[in-house]
Amino acid sequence: MRRDRKIGMIATSIEQIPKIVCFDDTPRGRLLQGAAYLFYKQGYDKTTVRQLGEFIGIQSGSLFHHFKSKDEILATVMEQTIIYNFARLKEAAERSNDPEQQLRHLIKAELLSIAGDTGAAMAVLVHEWFALSKEKQDYLLKMRNEYEQVWLDVIAKLRVLGKVKHDAFIWRRLVGGSISWTVTWYRPEGKVNIDELTEMVWEMALK
């Protein structure tokens, strides 16, 4: 481990970091996991291909057996993160036919994504978005829109029931913003667990 004065301790090997579940244990998956961690901890621009190779334990040239460029690594980190969490969100929505309960499940799914087992990768998706080329942004935006549509469909049902009285897009931005911010302060070992946090957000959202 090494210390950065701004962000504290940074792992020096992939073996030292927690599993990011949207990446598998293949060599390619380990590369993406290591990249997500380093991009999150020190930024995309400051992470070199050589450093990434050392972190994973391979020669830097070996990275290009899997990807053509560092830019492609970043885009694939984001793509795999969206695919995994979109599947998680759809599964959450399908657990109930009751819109209020669907909302509860969506909130928990997104809290797990952002403050839980894919948190580092989700942070990269947000904070390194503008490091992508316009072409890759356009491709990923289509995927992100499908993710957001799951939320908007449930919110539309809540509006019909009178449970949500505000514009669906703005309401989603407010709820999504409150969930996203948990990455800066939530700790699993803290005062509340994910289930308790889900209840808090759910209750506030429907007041």
CATH code of the domain covering residue 121: 1.10.357.10
Residue 6 lies in a domain: yes
Q: Is the pLDDT of residue 1 over 60?
A: no
pLDDT in tens, 25-57: 999 999 999 999 999 999 999 999 999 999 999
pLDDT at 53: 93
C-alpha–C-alpha distance, residues 205 and 207, integer Å: 6
State the total domains in the chain: 2
Q: Are residues 24 and 90 in the same domain?
A: no
- 201 and 155 together in one domain: yes
**Within a domain: residue 70?**
no
For the chain, what percent of residues have pLDDT higher than 70? Answer: 96
pTM (whole model) above 0.75 = yes
Supply 162's token pair: 């009178």
From 65, 96, 114, the end of a domain falls on 65
What pLDDT is recorded for position 162? 96
- Crossing angle of helices 194-206/99-115, nearest 10°? 130
Could you give the 3-state DSSP secondary structure of residue 10?
strand
Do residues 87 and 56 share a domain? no
SS3 97: coil
- Give CA–CA dist 67/76, Å, rounded: 9
In a domain, 33, yes or no: yes
Q: Which residues contact 40 (CB under 8 A, 6 or more apart)?
A: 120, 121, 123, 124, 127
Beta strands in the chain (DSSP E): 2-4, 8-10
Q: Distance (Å, rounded) from C-alpha 65 to C-alpha 61? A: 8
Round to whole Å and give the CA distance between 87 and 90.
5
Does 71 map to a domain? no
Any domain includes 72 = no
- Is the pLDDT at 149 greater than 80, yes or no? yes
Residues 126, 148 within the same domain? yes
Do residue 10 and residue 60 come from a single domain? yes
**pLDDT band of 82, cuts 50, 70, 90:** very high
Q: Per-residue pLDDT tens for 170-185?
A: 999 999 999 999 988 9
For residue 38, what is the domain's CATH number?
A: 1.10.10.60
How confident is the model over 83-134, as pLDDT tens digits? 999 999 999 999 999 999 999 999 999 999 999 999 999 999 999 999 999 9
57/124 same-domain check: no
Within-domain flag for 73: no
Which residue pairs from 14-20 have beta carbons closer than 8 angstroms and sit at least 24 positions apart in sequence?
14/55, 14/56, 14/57, 18/117, 19/117, 20/117, 20/118, 20/120, 20/121
Q: Which domain holds residue 147?
A: 78-206
Question: Is residue 3 scored above 50 in pLDDT?
Answer: no
